[in-house]
A and B are shown apart, each in its own frame.
Chain A
């Protein structure tokens, strides 16, 4: 009897499922999955937001749909886009956020980044980048060789060997660098070429505002100082008046050791960089099959790179930013709360002792 009642209960429970009302909750078809967002500057309180939504096949001829709104609150903008699109906007598939250079310089990137960081439906691995000119044009532009701009941007901003000079800033990276008191953040800087997009250089940020761009080579050294294992290919021109040498080095492995003297009054940092790479191309007068010439070349390269790193550090000091986070080496030994004033003091007064050791591993298999 008991068993009968139990089963009757179960079956009636299953039956009653059919009586439930159609839920107002959202199924995938009713959602517009945003893939990329671009922000352009209008005025201090208003921002121009362009939202790019890939279409499911068969919905329309266009592969992506774009909506642009001017808004002062971001979430307000999404509501407006929802009403334009006729579907609920969902951010769970968001991959890329672009800022125009004007917005990055005049607006506050941190405010927007924090907005998305707060939203639990947005992942923390979405990539951020700054765009030369208008960010809207990148999402709306037509590139004959690029079938879908959203996938292209996503792939472009994924870490890869040949673009490893770029910091590939994710939402977490940006928030982390902006909120810690020892370092400043950076972002890849995109430029629209005729029918493609490329990472042209890297921008430095301080307090949510863009300061300056640094070249790909300099950015590569910043990554090296940050401790990246494998660096992007390096072009070096050794110019000593009469004999000019050009080199292309690939597969560079990097080991960096940074030490501070723990003193805030006369801060000193010693930097030892050990690089190893394969010489792929060489134009010059040296006969590299001779050991002495080869050794001399290595020495020249080491000296050259050392000078470039020194120039870079000098440039960073002038800009009063520290994307590497040298202050961390002082914070480690500092008792009490570290603050930005101390970081500023370190940046202004620190003395760098740089030594670079460049080993060329091979020159290919031809003599």
Chain B
């Protein structure tokens, strides 16, 4: 029904796409990533939200200049065919590696917490099949999946009540208790939690009401920020500084504090539901990679999707040496920052180019 229509995303779709693509598995480790700041970390999600919102401005601006094109096409238009396409090649690589790191991070966690005596290959196959199924329906199906995921997962926040009840509100003072060095380390590690909203550059052409996109995307960002804020705040109240530094998945232990007469170990329940957050993030990146391959090969084909899914499956299931893997994923994280700033440069290039044309 939507196959022949290009504009398919309404306002709700945009809000939840932005929100859920952002919150992947980073949320689980966020208080730990911010731990160099000690207790002062609790207001950092707010700061990150402001920065992310500022970074959104050039993205929407450049997208509004090229309403019919996604970032791959914009690259070709602005930088020429060769430069644009090689850059797009890097983008595809980036999307594939991000996807692999997200999937692998989650499956590792599943193996540690829920299935310590099984291999991950079974869950991985099921996960990839689901992923391909979701992406098969194109961006609208991903957006719809985001909406349902949100409502299936969001109630877990209620379980933070126990941790907050046991925690100590006095931990929030003093406010600025960190050095410049600690500030930079924590921001470098933690800002990765905000990545994901930049995907809007790829699905922007599909948005029905593009003028309102900035407002809607900002709303999505701030929903994410409030989720992060509540979680980090609860962690700061509940943990000691040593625990923040040493507990790898602080959010799981937060949920471990829950005591209900009919339900034990809410953390295992939560980690199973977490698959929705991972699926949405992974689906968006898979879709981006597929679109990238489409644009490089100049034709839209379903097989591109399967090829990329197979590559990701390969990357995740081949046991690379852990150090090598860590190095690659770290590079991917940092290239993410580059990607978030990149649209500002595109704006400058666009301005220079249009000026030249006017002079001519």
Contacts and interface: CB of A to CB of B under 8 A. Distances in A.
Contacts of B264: 123
Given A121-B116, A124-B256, A329-B170, A176 B265 contact: no
A333 interface: yes
A28 interface: no
B241 A180 contact: yes
B contact face: mostly helix, strand, loop, or mixed: loop
Contacts of A123: 256, 264-265
Interface in A308-367: 328-329, 332-337
Contacts of A177: 240
Interface in A164-223: 172, 175-177, 179-181
B177 A335 contact: yes
B36 to A, nearest CB: 11
B352 interface: no
B173 A332 contact: yes
Interface in A281-327: none
B300 interface: no
A57 interface: no
B168 interface: yes
Contact of B253 (A25, A124, A328, A335): A124
Contact of A179 (B112, B177, B243, B252): B243
A63 B70 CA distance: 68
A26 interface: yes
Interface residues of A, number: 23
A5 interface: no
A332 to B, nearest CB: 4
Contacts of B243: 175-176, 179
A281 B160 CA distance: 41
B241 A120 contact: no
Contacts of A333: 173-174
A266 to B, nearest CB: 20
A170 to B, nearest CB: 9
A223 B60 CA distance: 55
B301 interface: no
A75 interface: no
B25 to A, nearest CB: 16
Nearest to B112: A120
A346 to B, nearest CB: 15
A330 to B, nearest CB: 11
B186 to A, nearest CB: 15
Contacts of B112: 120
A125 interface: yes
A328 B170 CA distance: 8
Nearest to A328: B170
A125 B240 contact: no
Nearest to B259: A125
A336 B256 contact: no
B242 A120 contact: no
Contact of A125 (B117, B252, B257): B257
Interface string B97-119: 00000000000000011001110
B228 interface: no
A227 to B, nearest CB: 9
| Number of chain B interface residues as a range | 20 to 34
Contacts of A121: 113, 116
B240 A179 contact: yes
Interface string A103-143: 00000000000000000110111000000000000000000
A269 to B, nearest CB: 13
Contact of B168 (A26, A179, A328): A328
B257 A172 contact: yes
A25 B257 contact: no
Contacts of A179: 240-243
B72 interface: no
B42 interface: no
Contacts of B177: 335-336
Interface string B178-212: 00000000000000000000000000000000000
B253 to A, nearest CB: 6
A172 B253 CA distance: 9
Contact of B118 (A25, A92, A124, A334): A25
Contact of B242 (A125, A180, A328, A329): A180
A26 B117 contact: yes
A120 to B, nearest CB: 5
Contacts of A176: 238-240, 243
A329 B170 CA distance: 8
Nearest to A176: B240
A365 to B, nearest CB: 34
A123 B38 CA distance: 25
Contacts of B113: 120-121
A365 B13 CA distance: 64
A317 to B, nearest CB: 21
B117 A25 contact: yes
Interface of A: 25-26, 92, 120-121, 123-125, 172, 175-177, 179-181, 328-329, 332-337
12 contacts: A26-B117, A92-B265, A120-B252, A172-B256, A172-B257, A179-B243, A180-B241, A332-B173, A333-B174, A335-B177, A336-B177, A337-B38
Interface of B: 38, 112-113, 116-118, 168, 170, 173-174, 176-177, 238-243, 252-253, 256-257, 259, 264-265
Given A92-B265, A124-B257, 12 more contacts: A120-B112, A120-B116, A121-B116, A123-B264, A125-B256, A125-B257, A172-B256, A176-B238, A177-B240, A179-B240, A181-B240, A333-B173
Question: Which 8 pairs, one residue from A and one from B, show the smallest C-beta to C-beta distance?
Answer: A180-B240, A179-B242, A332-B173, A124-B256, A179-B240, A25-B117, A120-B113, A176-B240
